[in-house]
Amino acid sequence: MSETIINRRQIQWFPGHMAKTLRLMEKEIRNVDCVLQILDARIPLSSLNPEIERITAGKPHLYVLNKADLADPDITRRWLDYFRSAGAGCLPMDSRQSGKAHAVRGPIEKELAELMQRRRAKGMAGAAIRVMVVGIPNVGKSTFINSFAGAARAKAANKPGVTRGKQWISVGGYDLLDMPGVLWKKFDSLETAANLAFIGSIRDDILDVEELACGLLSSVRGIYPKRLLERYKLGQQALELPPCELLLAIGVKRGMLISGGEVDSERAARMLVGEFRASKWGRISLEQPPQPTPTQEEDADAGQNI
Q: Give the interface with ligand GTP as residue ranges (CB under 6 A).
A: 66-67, 69-70, 93-96, 135, 137-143, 156-158, 160-163, 180-181
76 closest CA partner among 58, 87, 64: 64
CB of 94 to ligand GTP, least distance (A): 4
Q: Which of 47, 76, 142, 195 binds Mg ion (CB under 5 A)?
A: 142
Distance CA 268, CA 257 (A): 9
219 is in the binding site of which of ligand GTP, Mg ion, none (Cβ under 5 to 8 A by kind)? none
Exposed/middle/buried for 278, CB within 10 Å: 0-12, 13-18, 19+?
exposed
Q: Is residue 95 involved in binding Mg ion (CB under 5 A)?
A: no
141 vs 221, which CB is nearer to ligand GTP?
A: 141
**Strand (E) or helix (H) holding 301:** helix 296-305
Distance CA 180, CA 163 (A): 5
Residue type, 291: Q
CB of 100 to ligand GTP, least distance (A): 8
41 is in the binding site of which of ligand GTP, Mg ion, none (Cβ under 5 to 8 A by kind)? none
Distance CA 2, CA 243 (A): 11
182 vs 256, which CB is nearer to ligand GTP?
A: 182
Q: Is residue 201 involved in binding Mg ion (CB under 5 A)?
A: no
Instruction: Check: CB of residue 153 under 8 Å from CB of residue 196.
Output: no
- From the list 81-89, 161-169, 198-206, 295-303, the region that binds Mg ion by CB under 5 A is 161-169
70 is in the binding site of which of ligand GTP, Mg ion, none (Cβ under 5 to 8 A by kind)? ligand GTP
Q: Which residues contact 4 (CB under 8 A, 6 or more apart)?
A: 208, 211
143 is in the binding site of which of Mg ion, ligand GTP, none (Cβ under 5 to 8 A by kind)? ligand GTP
Summarize as ranges the residues that interact with Mg ion (CB under 5 A): 141-142, 162-163
